[in-house]
C-alpha cells in the first residue's frame, strides 16, 4: 500500500499493512507521548567522579536539554552523557551522566525537568548504552470511532502479528517533522558540497515553519549576507545563528561553520542520509514481496547478543549451505535479516537484496569513499547494518470513542512512529 508524497520523500514509500487507517493526531499534548528508557545501568562506584541520574523532561528537544543542563552546571555540553535521542514533544525519562557531585546536580531547579535517583559511577553514559524504550502513546481525534476504530486497530495488529513485528523504518524524527532536511544536509556533506549543506540547513525555507523563521531563511537564501542575518534571525534558531555567526567572521569557511555545531548534530546529518537510503531499500524489498522475517540466499543476518539485540557490526552472509540453520535462528529470534547503512567499510548483500542495495546506491551516485569526510571527521562513517524487522514487545491498546492508547516496548534504535504509522496511515509528516 503506497504512502503519500511527504513520507516518500524520506524513503517511507509504502505501508506493509493494507488495513484501514485510523487517522488521528499524535502529541496534541506532550503527556500523550510518554517514553521510558529501558536502561543499561553503569555499575555503582562509591566515590566515582561521575553522577548517573534519571532525567525526566517534558517538551524538551535533546540538544536544547543538554545545553540547558550544561549551562546550569557550568560545564561543557560534551561532558554530559546520554544513551539516545528522545522525542521533543513528549514526556521522556532516561539516564544521563554528569561529571559533578550528586549534591550539586540535585540543587538544580529547571522548568519541566526533573532529576532523580542519582548515584556515583566510574564511567559515564555514551550513545547506545541502553536496551530499548517503553512507550505509552495516546492517539486522539481519530477518523474512525467506537467499533469501527476497534476493528481497524485489530486488523492492523493481526497483520503485524503474522509478520512478527513491523518494517523497521527510520521514523520522521530522524529527518525533521516540520522541516525534513537533515538527510539532505548529510547528502551534500558526503558529496563534498559544504556550501550547499550549510545553505540547506541555515536557509532553505519550508512552508511548515512559522512566518518569522521562514522569512528569515528566505532572506538569507536570497542575499547570503551572513553578517546582516544575525540581526534578523530569531533567537530561538540557536544552531542556525551559530553557523551564521561563524560565517560572518570567517566568510567561506563552511566546514568550520558545520564544526561549530554540537558533535551529535554533526553526526546526525550523515546518519540521516544513510537512514534515507536504508528506508528506500526496505521499501523496495517490501514492494518486491520479499520477506522481512525470513532470510534468503544472499541476505546478511545479524546474530542476537545476550539481550536479544542484533549485533549490527557482525553480519553473517546467508548461503545455500547455511540457509536452513539461519532460517531456524531467525525464527527463534536469535538472528535478524538486515539492510545496509552504507559507509566506507560496507559490505553489501548478495542475491536480490544485494541488487536492491546496489541499485539505490548507484541511483544516488555514491561511492564508499564519499563517507570519508576529512574536513569534518565527525561526519565520516564506516557504515553498519540494521535489522529490517522491528520487534514489538508487550503490545496493548485500548480504544475509547475517537481515541486509542497504545503501550509497548521496542529495542533501541527502533521508532515508535514507524510502528504507529501502520495503524494511523496519515500522509503528513507533522501528523507524527
pLDDT value for 24: 95
Q: Which residue has the cell 504507529?
A: 420
Q: What angle do CA 380, 384, 388 make, to 5 degrees?
A: 135
CB 377 within 8 A of CB 103: no
Q: Are residues 369 and 398 in the same domain?
A: no
Of 228, 261, 294, the domain-final residue? 261
Confidence of residue 88 (pLDDT cuts 50, 70, 90): confident
Residue 175 in domain: no
Of 261, 290, 308, the domain-final residue? 261
> How does pLDDT run across 211-251, given as a tens digit for each residue?
999 999 999 999 999 999 999 999 999 999 999 999 999 99
Catalytic amino acids? 87
Confidence of residue 90 (pLDDT cuts 50, 70, 90): very high
CB 50 within 8 A of CB 123: yes
> How does pLDDT run across 10-69, given as a tens digit for each residue?
999 999 999 999 999 987 899 999 999 999 999 999 999 999 999 999 999 998 999 999
Q: How far apart are CA 68 and CA 17, in angstroms?
A: 42
pLDDT at 429 > cutoff 90: no
pLDDT value for 177: 85
Residue 236 belongs to domain spanning = 181-261
Q: Are residues 225 and 124 in the same domain?
A: no
Residues written for the chain: 432
> How does pLDDT run across 279-316, given as a tens digit for each residue?
999 999 999 999 999 999 999 999 999 989 999 999 99
pLDDT value for 82: 96
Quick check: pTM over 0.75? yes
Q: Are residues 99 and 65 in the same domain?
A: yes
> How does pLDDT run across 366-413, given as a tens digit for each residue?
999 999 999 999 999 999 999 999 999 999 999 999 999 999 999 999
What residue spans of 176-262 are helical by DSSP H? 182-190, 194-202, 211-223, 226-232, 238-249, 254-259
pLDDT value for 376: 97
pLDDT at 432 > cutoff 90: no
pLDDT value for 135: 98
E strands, 310-401, are: 316-317, 335-341, 384-387, 389-390, 392-400
Q: How far apart are CA 108 and CA 141, in angstroms?
A: 38
pLDDT value for 399: 96
Q: Are residues 200 and 275 in the same domain?
A: no
Q: How far apart are CA 415 and CA 336, in angstroms?
A: 17
10-40 burial code (b ≥16 CB/10 A, e <16): bbbbbbbbebbbbbbbbbeebebbbbbbbbe
Q: Are residues 320 and 367 in the same domain?
A: yes
Strands 130-139 and 166-167, how do they pair?
unpaired
Mean per-residue pLDDT, 111-129:
96
Q: Are residues 408 and 381 in the same domain?
A: no
Q: Are residues 381 and 282 in the same domain?
A: yes
73 phi, psi to nearest 5 deg: -95, -10
Which CATH number do you get for residue 290? 3.30.2350.20
Q: Are residues 201 and 290 in the same domain?
A: no
Sequence-distant (6+) residues with CB within 8 A of 158 are none
pLDDT at 431 > cutoff 80: no
What's the structural domain count of the chain? 4
Q: In this prediction, what percent of the chain has a pLDDT beyond 70? A: 100
Amino acid at each position: 500500500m503506497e504512502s503519500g508524497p511527504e513520507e516518500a520523500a524520506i524513503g517511507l514509500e509504502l505501508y506493509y499493512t493494507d488495513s484501514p487507517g485510523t487517522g488521528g493526531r499524535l502529541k496534541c499534548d506532550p503527556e500523550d507521548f510518554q517514553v521510558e528508557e529501558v536502561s543499561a545501568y553503569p555499575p555503582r562506584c562509591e566515590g566515582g567522579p561521575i553522577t548517573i541520574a534519571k532525567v525526566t523532561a517534558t517538551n524538551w528537544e535533546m540538544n536544547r536539554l543538554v545545553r540547558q543542563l550544561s549551562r546550569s552546571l557550568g560545564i561543557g555540553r560534551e561532558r554530559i552523557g546520554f544513551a539516545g535521542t528522545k522525542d521533543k514533544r513528549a514526556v521522556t525519562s532516561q539516564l544521563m551522566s554528569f561529571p559533578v557531585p550528586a549534591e550539586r546536580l540535585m540543587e538544580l531547579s529547571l522548568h519541566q525537568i526533573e532529576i532523580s535517583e542519582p548515584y556515583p559511577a566510574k564511567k559515564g553514559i555514551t550513545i547506545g548504552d541502553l536496551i530499548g524504550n517503553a512507550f505509552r502513546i495516546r492517539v486522539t481525534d481519530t477518523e474512525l470511532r467506537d467499533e469501527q476504530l476497534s476493528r481497524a486497530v485489530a486488523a492492523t495488529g493481526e497483520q503485524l502479528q503474522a509478520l512478527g513485528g513491523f518494517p523497521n523504518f527510520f521514523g520522521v524524527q530522524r529527518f525533521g517533522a516540520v522541516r525534513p532536511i537533515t538527510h539532505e544536509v548529510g547528502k551534500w556533506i558526503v558529496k563534498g558540497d559544504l556550501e550547499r549543506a550549510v545553505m540547506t540547513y541555515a536557509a532553505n525555507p519550508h512552508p511548515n515553519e512559522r512566518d518569522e523563521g521562514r522569512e528569515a531563511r528566505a532572506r538569507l537564501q536570497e542575499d547570503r549576507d551572513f553578517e546582516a542575518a544575525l540581526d534578523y534571525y530569531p533567537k530561538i534558531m540557536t544552531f542556525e545563528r551559530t553557523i551564521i555567526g561563524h560565517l560572518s567572521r570567517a566568510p567561506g569557511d563552511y566546514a568550520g561553520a558545520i564544526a561549530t555545531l554540537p558533535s551529535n548534530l554533526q553526526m546526525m546529518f550523515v546518519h540521516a542520509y544513510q537512514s534515507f537510503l536504508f528506508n528506500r531499500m526496505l521499501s523496495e524489498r517490501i514492494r518486491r514481496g520479499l520477506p522481512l522475517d525470513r532470510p534468503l540466499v544472499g541476505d546478511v543476518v545479524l546474530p542476537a547478543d545476550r539481550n536479544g539485540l542484533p549485533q549490527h557490526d557482525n553480519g553473517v552472509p546467508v548461503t545455500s549451505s547455511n540457509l536452513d540453520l539461519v532460517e531456524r535462528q531467525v525464527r527463534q529470534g536469535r538472528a535478524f535479516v538486515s539492510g545496509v547503512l552504507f559507509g566506507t567499510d560496507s559490505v553489501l548483500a548478495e542475491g536480490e537484496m544485494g541488487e536492491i542495495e546496489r541499485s539505490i546506491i548507484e541511483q544516488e551516485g555514491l561511492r564508499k569513499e564519499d563517507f570519508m569526510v576529512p574536513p569534518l571527521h565527525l561526519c565520516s562513517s564506516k557504515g553498519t547494518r540494521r535489522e529490517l524487522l522491528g520487534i514489538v514487545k508487550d503490545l496493548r491498546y485500548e480504544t475509547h470513542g475517537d481515541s486509542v492508547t497504545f503501550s509497548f516496548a521496542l529495542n533501541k534504535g527502533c521508532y515508535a512512529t514507524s510502528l504507529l504509522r501502520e495503524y494511523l496511515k496519515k500522509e503528513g509528516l507533522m501528523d507524527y
